[in-house]
Amino acid sequence: MKKETKKAKPATKKRRTGHEDLLTDVSQVKPAEAPPIAKGQLGDRIKAAREMRELTVADISSRTGIDVATLKQIEANKIAPPLGQLIRLGKALDMKMGYFISPGVDKPITVVRKDQRQAVARHGQKKSQQYGYSYESLAPEKANRLMEPF
């Protein structure tokens, strides 16, 4: 009787998904230092981030392509920037989007008691179509989170 031996599978080349640049070791990435979250509206937060970096409105205008008058109106909370402008502002100020739009306070840890959890169900394009899962968010008020703990 011959004994069957398993042959080692040849090494396969990893398929590139296009997300390799996003998937880095977090220990190598130094997060941008965020200013204390300014209480108030979006314009106040944008202004606080700009001032922390000692940038002028003209500096931000040249980095984003948004005119100075519009930036001043945004910082004065007279107008809300469209999402595209908000993304450009975030990049120009080296800030996470969560800093601008999250109502929570940026704390290193968040404790959520069982009775404080928020149930979340994922639906398809039609409200009646469910993807088949629901979960309880363990950090609904955590600002600048990079993932959804559940």
Q: pLDDT at position 113, please?
A: 75
Mean pLDDT of 93-115: 71
**Domain 32-101 belongs to what topology?**
434 Repressor (Amino-terminal Domain) (1.10.260)
* Total residue count of the chain as it appears in this document: 150
As a whole-number percent, the residues of the chain with pLDDT over 70 amount to 43
Strands 118-123 and 130-137, by their bridges, are antiparallel
| Cα distance between residue 31 and residue 37, in whole Å | 16
Give me 4's structure tokens: 């069957």
Beta bridge partners of 77: none
pLDDT of 100 strictly over 80: no
Query: In this predicted model, what pLDDT tens digit does every residue of 31-54 receive, in sequence order?
Result: 444 444 444 688 998 999 999 999
* Residues 79 and 70 sit within 8 Å (Cβ to Cβ): yes
Q: Element (H or E) spanning 31, and its range?
A: none
| Cα distance between residue 88 and residue 35, in whole Å | 18
| Cα distance between residue 116 and residue 120, in whole Å | 13
Domain ranges of the chain: 32-101, 107-150
Identify the residue whose tokens are 């398809």.
Answer: 124
Mean pLDDT of 87-116: 75
**Stated pTM of the model:** 0.48
Residues 6 or more apart from 72 whose CB is under 8 A from it? 57
